[in-house]
Amino acid sequence: MSQITYSVYVRVVLGLSVIAALACITWPSMPSARAQQADSLIPISTTQPAAPSAPAAGTTPSDAGRTPPAATPASSSGGASNTSVSGDPEPRREPDPTAVLRELTNKQNTAPRPVVLPNRPNQIRSTVIAPEAVPANAIRPVSNRLLPDGYRLVDRTGRLTREGDYYVFAFESRSEGEAEAPLRLLPNRLLEDMEDFSEGGTRPVVFVVSGEITEYHGVNYLLLQKLLTRPNLGNLK
C-alpha cells in the first residue's frame, strides 16, 4: 500500500472515532430536550376564576360561604317526638275515660295492708285480752281475741252498758257461738250522745257505730267516729 492511501485510511478511522464519541456524549441529553420542547408547546389557559356572587338579602358575610344543611325528613306518626313539623308542641290528649275508671276501681278494691308495729326489746305481743276485760256476768262464753291497735270497726250494732268505771259497747249477736268481748269506750262527744239517748245505758237503745280500735295493756278500747241509732220497729223486725 502506498503512503498516501495509508494516510487517508488513518484519517477516515479517526473521523469515525470522533463521530462515535460525539454520539455517545449527546445521546443521553436528547430525551430531556425533547420534553422541554413538548412543554413549551402546551398552551396557557387564559380563563379567569369566576367572581363570588353577592350574598342574599338577610344573610351575613360569614353565612354566605356556608353550605345549607340538608333537609331532614319529618318523623313518622309512630315516633316518640311530640313536636310538629312547624316546631309547635302537640296539644295534650284527653285521658281515656275507660282507663281512668279502671285505675280508680283497682285502687278502691285493693285492701290496705295492716300496719304491724315492731316489738320493743324483750316484749312479747299478746293476742288474747286481759282477764279484767272479760265481763264477770257473761251468760255465754266470751271470745278472748285481742284486736290489734288500729283495727277499724265499721257499722256494728250493739248497746251501751256500764261496767265498773267504764262505759262499754256490747255487740249484738244472735249466733250460738262465742260472743265478742265488749269494748271499753274512750270519752268523746259521740259517747256523750250515746249516754243521752240511752239515759246512761238504762234504756235498750240499739246503736250502729264505727270507729278505731286501740289496745292498752291487753285491753281493747273503741274511739267512736260515727254513731247512728236503729229504730225500734216492734213486731216488724
Q: Is residue 89 part of a domain?
A: no
171 belongs to a structural domain: yes
Please check whether residue 133 lies inside any domain of the structure: no
What's the average pLDDT block by block, 10 residues per block, for the chain (237 residues)?
70 80 64 55 52 54 54 48 61 81 69 64 74 76 86 93 90 81 94 92 91 92 93 68
Cα-trace Rg, the chain: 58
Backbone φ and ψ of 185, nearest 5°: -95, 130
pLDDT of residue 164: 85
- How far is 226 from 147, CA to CA, in rounded Å? 19
Measure the CA dihedral 153/155/157/158, to 10°. Answer: 40
- Residue 174's pLDDT is 75
Q: What is the predicted pLDDT for the residue at 40? A: 53
Residue 202, domain extent: 151-231
pLDDT score, position 33: 53
Name the H helices within 84-235.
97-109, 189-198
Confidence (pLDDT) at 159: 93
Number of domains in the chain: 1
DSSP 233: -
